[in-house]
Amino acid sequence: MGLHDIDWPNRNATTGALIGEKQYWGKGYGTDAKMILLNYVFNTLNLHTVSSSVIAFNKRSLGYSSHCGYKIDGVCRACIFREGRYWDRVMLSVMKKDWLPIWRKYQKTGSVC
């Protein structure tokens, strides 16, 4: 989990994540880590918007990003070559005002779903 390219004048940044070991996939660790990072980004750093991008075949990443409040901003069509073919890159972002209700639910229940 990382925070990159902080643009202080415009109060935005980019995040990225990787859970490399398959045994840890689907257990909510990515969602938990992203929610904690977004709490820091929005409530400590006081940023306004966080963006990310996901290769279209990565349904897990798209799913947990959506659970954390990210919305699709656009698609870069066939711009990534992986596994012998071209894939779309999905561009996402979340704004503090949209994320806050999700954070409140997460604090109460420990889940964003």
Q: How confident is the model at residue 2 (pLDDT cuts 50, 70, 90)?
A: confident
Strands 49-55 and 2-7: unpaired
State the Cα angle at 89 between 85 and 93, rounded to 5°: 165
Name the phi and psi angles at 94, rounded to 5. Answer: -135, 135
* Domains in the chain: ranges and CATH: 2-109 (3.40.630.30)
Contact status, residue 17 vs residue 33, Cβ threshold 8 Å: yes
pLDDT tens column, 63-100: 888 988 999 999 999 999 988 999 999 999 999 999 99
